[in-house]
Amino acid sequence: MQSSRSNTVTLLLGGARSGKSHYAQQLGEQAERVVFVATARAGDDEMRRKIDLHRRSRPQHWQTVEEPLALAETIVHHGPACDLLIIDCLTFFAANLLHAGSDELGAIELGAIDALCGALQAPPCSVVLVSNEVGMGVVPEYASGRRFRDLLGEMNQRVARVASDVLLLVAGLPLVLKRAVAS
């Protein structure tokens, strides 16, 4: 995963069950030292089962860090000790930010995106971020759904600008949207 130019930042986008997490794991299997950052919270039995399934699918030698909110700090803290840091996923990170923040898209959410993008500018290791693309469907009926869609869309755009590589996964197939040119 390391390149001669610098550490890479790869954003994997796609719909639900599109193969994003599986692809991220395949990238991780090419690295020696991997830190997996899980942002999901086990709020109900269905989510607990999903988290357990994801845990069992990862190699046991990977370090797992459960961090729902402090992604920038996690990159800075854990990045120097690994070759690759996988963040799965920005979708739950956005939901966690909204839950922790105010009723309107505000300083808390935008500050967290700023901090994340700042940490990705010159990361201490290569980073793979997984996120859902939720802006391709119908407009959500409820204001909270529209706020979530808007926050995640803004985050995906800003992370994509910082990323060296951006891929869209459809039916498990990666489509390159942006690829860094080796120097």
| pLDDT at residue 94 greater than cutoff 70 | yes
For residues 134 and 148, give the distance between their C-alpha atoms in angstroms, rounded to a whole number. 9
CA distances from 156 to 23, 49, 59, 68, 183 (A): 18, 27, 27, 17, 26
Kindly state the average pLDDT of the residues 167-183. Answer: 90
* 30-64 per-position pLDDT tens digit: 999 999 999 998 888 998 898 888 888 899 999 99
CATH of the domain at 24: 3.40.50.300
How high is the pLDDT of residue 102? 58
In the chain, the N- to C-terminal Cα span, in Å, equals 16
For residues 155 and 49, give the distance between their C-alpha atoms in angstroms, rounded to a whole number. 27
User: SS3 of 179, please?
Assistant: coil
* 119-158 per-position pLDDT tens digit: 999 999 999 999 999 988 889 899 999 999 999 999 999 9
User: Which residue range forms the structural domain that includes residue 76?
Assistant: 9-165
Strand partners, 38: 66, 88
Structure tokens at 77: 């803290």
Classify residue 67: in a domain, yes or no.
Answer: yes
Catalytic residues, by residue number, are 54
Task: Please tell me the pTM assigned to this model.
Answer: 0.91
For residues 84 and 31, give the distance between their C-alpha atoms in angstroms, rounded to a whole number. 6
Q: Which of 46-50, 106-110, 162-166 has the highest mean predicted lDDT (pLDDT)? A: 162-166
Report residue 95's pLDDT band, with 50, 70 and 90 as the boundaries.
very high
Is the model more confident about 106 or about 69? 69
Number of domains observed in the structure of the chain: 1
Classify residue 3: in a domain, yes or no.
Answer: no
Contact (Cβ atoms closer than 8 angstroms) between residue 93 and residue 69:
yes
| pLDDT at residue 68 greater than cutoff 50 | yes
How high is the pLDDT of residue 138? 86
Classify residue 172: in a domain, yes or no.
Answer: no
How high is the pLDDT of residue 3? 40
How high is the pLDDT of residue 137? 82
